[in-house]
Amino acid sequence: MSENKFNFTDSKLRKLTNQTGKKIYFYDSICYGLQICLTTNNTISFRLNAWDASRKKPVVVTIGRYPKIGINTARDIAREHVQQIAAGKDIKRGLTETNLELTLDRLFEKWLEYAKENKKTWKEDESKYNLYIKKYLGKKKISAIKESDIKAWRRKVLDQKKIRGKNSGDCISKTTVNRAFGIVRSMYNRFASDLPNPCKDIPKYHEKKRKVFLRSDHLRAFFKTLDNKKTPEYLKDMLLIFLYTGARRANVLSMQWKDVDLSLKFWIIPEVKSENDQEELVIPLIDGAVEILEKRKKRTKSVFVFPSEKSKTGHIVEPKRAWKSFLKNAGLPTDYRLHDLRRTQGSWQAISGISGDIIGKALGHKSRDATAHYIHLTLSPVRNAMQQAVDAMEKEVSLPDKVVKIKNG
């Protein structure tokens, strides 16, 4: 087998490094024409590099960057291109002409097919497109949409009124606009890479980070209600795992026994369920979490820690109703979110004087920016420094006056 040809797998692609000072190329041994380009920065892009017999020349087409596009998806696209070449089509011209004629609505249909297979939140994305994007940009040809159109669209959405929820009538938040903006940008990146992306040089709106977490009084009510006999045991266990691990909602709900090591006290969140560019996360388990999991493991035969017979997935998917009922019984604000338990773990670490780097590692943050909004709570070291300064000042002023003896001349 040629050194530059092998079976593309995730493990092999992740290990590739380029120290040659120039781009290098590898071919897939499974799919004819599928090639990767490995840059000097160790980024990987899929390409089709195939021979066009009717035109007697090679055809090179960029498919997309790995891992945003998976290996199997790249193979499917490459095979489709090869079939079109065999049928005598000029695919490079066809791609450009097709995208020149596509409307944003049509591009979203292509993008939604991908999202349904690769994103758990595709329904939310579909809703955002229909609510905030479609009526403004849907009928426009994607080749005609410019940066100025995107900026004008975002301003219009910011003036749009909410039509549902308890704050209906209020204007759409910058956070919501950013999510919609991200969908448009992703559509161009993935399915119209041959055209200029009108979102490329536009920064997101600055978002006001949600800083809600359970403070002392609410924390006492939370634990008191957990011990209430009216609180179902599964809900008590689930809420404590949320709090003790600080893990994301989807990860806790889909937690499986095969990923938990109770003897070594850690939980591995598989890369396909992680939000950090598909990197595997290892969550340490404190004694309280281990105790809960040991108890649950003895009582269930399911592969899931929080199983559900009613769910197609086999595990609890949407505990919103149980959570709202719990908050009501506890006398807590019903606008608390399950994600606020994750924020509570991070916030109390900060209050306890834990460094930002440790908080970020505990919560599985990839960047320091994600941890930054906890830092304002790290007051213990600051308070200690201030107390030391005051102690020094008080000590200085409490010293007895120095007596200076003056000699007579």
Q: What sign does the dihedral 214-220-225-226 (CA atoms) show?
A: positive
d(CA 188, CA 196): 8
Residue 149 domain-assigned (yes or no)? yes
> What pLDDT shows up at residue 215?
87
68 and 113 part of one domain? no
**Alpha-carbon distance values, 162 to 96, 166, 167, 170, 172 (Å):** 38, 9, 7, 6, 6
Apex 18 CA angle, 15 and 22, nearest 5: 155
Q: What are phi and psi of 242, to 5 degrees?
A: -55, -50
131-135, 210-214, 252-256: least confident range: 210-214
- pLDDT greater than 80 at residue 381: no
Containing structural domain, residue 146: 104-191
237 and 301 part of one domain? yes
Residue 321 sits in a domain of what CATH number? 1.10.443.10
| pLDDT tens digits along 137-150 | 999 999 889 999 99
> What pLDDT shows up at residue 98?
55
Contact 49, 33 (CB under 8 A): yes
| pLDDT tens digits along 84-126 | 888 888 776 655 555 556 889 988 988 888 888 777 778 889 9
Q: Token pair 């079976």 is at which residue?
A: 7
223 and 313 part of one domain? yes
Residue 376 domain-assigned (yes or no)? no
271 and 314 part of one domain? yes
What's the pTM value of the predicted model, to 2 decimals? 0.54
* DSSP assignment letter at 372: G
- pLDDT greater than 80 at residue 241: yes
Residue 79 sits in a domain of what CATH number? 3.30.160.390
